[in-house]
Structure 1
Amino acid sequence: MRVEIWSDIACPWCYVGKARFEKALAAFPHRDQVEVVHRSFELDPGRAKDDVQPVIAMLTRKYGMSEAQAEAGEDNLGTQAAAAGLPYRTRGRDHGSTFDMHRLLHFARERGRQAELLDLLYRANFAEERSVFDDDGRLVELAGAAGLDADAAREVLADPAAYADEVRADEREAARLGANGVPFFVLDRAYGVSGAQPAEVFTQALTQAWQARAPLAMVQGAPAAGDGGDGGDACGPDGCAVPGTGEHDGRGTAGAAQ
């Protein structure tokens, strides 16, 4: 089973939601058969790379809230993060473009290190003092810590086109699926969960999606007269049997509708 998670490094609820989902996944009986893929979503697409500002200032400008309200919101997020076992700096963080981080995450996915890099990017943004925005050197360090070749990561960052199409494709797919915010979880392209839900909700979603993958359960009918089978007329690869004759009427095959 595949779980796709659309998220942004600048999104605190993505940081918290990921931890809650992972708590549910860790207790899921079939966790070893679940593939998790992280997909790109920018909360602030088109933002210039050098346009970096304090989070509190961004919140007051973007949402029209007072500084006290912005600080109260950050305090609440700090409480939510702590409950999920995550460190969170409620003051002194920056906000900026995450496009290069998403490009690096696609590079990391190709090399099997996406999950490791994502964890490091989240922790660097939400728990550490040094900003991850407009600082290629910092991103290269984190890529190296995630097990990636630092020189190769530097080359990716130096080429604005590298993995840019992959990031945009993820964002178009999110729009097609109806996601207008993150985190957004999609299970086997059949079930969706929006937001940083409690772990119990993710447990329910995982269970429901897994059960939907179970083999088809047949409902047996009463045997027809002279029929030792399940009593239902059916068509097979050789056509359709005419009742009572064992012959076929030549009408071809019928497919199962699900």
Structure 2
Amino acid sequence: MAPFVHACPWCYIGKARFEKGLAAFAHRDEIEVVHRSFELDPHRAKSETGPVLEMLASKYGRTLDEARAMEAHVATNAHSEGLEYRTEGRDHGNTFDIHRLLHLAKDRGVQNALLDLAYRANFAEERSVFDDDTLVALAVEAGLDETEVRAVLADPEAYADAVRADEREAAELGANGVPFFVLDRKYGVSGGQPAELFTQALEQAWQGRALQPVGGAATAGTADACDIDGGNC
């Protein structure tokens, strides 16, 4: 299980690294990957969107130059994984509707496709993922039915319980930030770790050796991540 936030750059990077680590794992074809919802800013109103740089500077008492440096650090990591990353011109906003659509996509078997499209739109392209028309376009591109997508967006309770259930589970597992990976529901790996560490963690979990019980004082390794207050995002 991997709690992901489409607006968290370390989830964007961490997903790519995890997939590389999984590809090097001998039993990769026997592994099921489940994505869970996690909101970094759950109290932000849906209408409250704005530029990422200004948000970072305001929320953490940084100058715009310091915010740009934070984004440059993320971009360097993204580029090292072959990912495109725009350091300016991106928006920040409420992600609840996107999580709801990802649960619809899971039911229809295209969750990973929609997640990748949302990441690409948010981090690599000049497409705001915080408006319904963009979300509909991404969902249809992923293979969902437009009428069904619009019906979910029009009903604020559609899949809302599923999102909240994921968030409760994350809290019970001790996930205070993302990305956070749970292996075999027993071991936790926090942050956008190198691909090699994910391979090692998968091997250790497969063999049943103690990596780190979920909910313990620490998880395997340390790496950049987004915490519940936004962290490096």
- After superposition, the CA RMSD in angstroms is 0.9
What's the TM-score, normalizing by structure 2?
0.88
Task: Please list every run of 5 or more consecutive structure 1 residues that lacks an aligned counterpart in the other structure.
Answer: 214-258
Does 2:141 align with 1:145? yes
Higher relative contact order (CA 8 A, sep 6+): 2
- What letter matches 1:201 in structure 2? L
2:201 to 205, 208, 226: 205
Per the alignment, residue 224 of structure 2 pairs with: none
1:69 to 66, 71, 77: 66
Percent identical pairs in the alignment equals 69
Per the alignment, residue 183 of structure 2 pairs with: 187
Per the alignment, residue 31 of structure 2 pairs with: 34
Does 2:167 align with 1:177? no
**Which is helix-richer, 1 or 2?**
2
Q: Give me the whole-angstrom Cα distance separating, in 1, the residues matched to 2:180 and 2:153.
A: 26
Q: Give me the whole-angstrom Cα distance separating, in 2, the residues matched to 1:197 and 1:209.
A: 16
- What letter matches 2:62 in structure 1? M
Q: Give me the whole-angstrom Cα distance separating, in 2, the residues matched to 1:88 and 1:51.
A: 23
- What letter matches 2:171 in structure 1? A
Report the Cα offset of residue 7 of structure 1: 1.3
Per the alignment, residue 23 of structure 1 pairs with: 20
Deviation digits for residues 138-195 of structure 1 (CA, Å, limit 9, x no counterpart):
1011011101111111110110000000001100111111110000000011110011
- What letter matches 1:152 in structure 2? E
Report the Cα offset of residue 212 of structure 1: 1.5
Per the alignment, residue 129 of structure 1 pairs with: 126
Runs of 4+ residues deviating >3 angstroms: none
Does 2:130 align with 1:163? no
Deviation digits for residues 174-225 of structure 1 (CA, Å, limit 9, x no counterpart):
1111110000000011110011011111011100111129xxxxxxxxxxxx
What's the TM-score, normalizing by structure 1?
0.80
Per the alignment, residue 115 of structure 2 pairs with: 118
1:56 to 53, 56, 69: 53
- What letter matches 1:48 in structure 2? A
- Number of residue-to-residue matches in the alignment: 209
Q: Give me the whole-angstrom Cα distance separating, in 1, the residues matched to 2:186 and 2:180.
A: 13
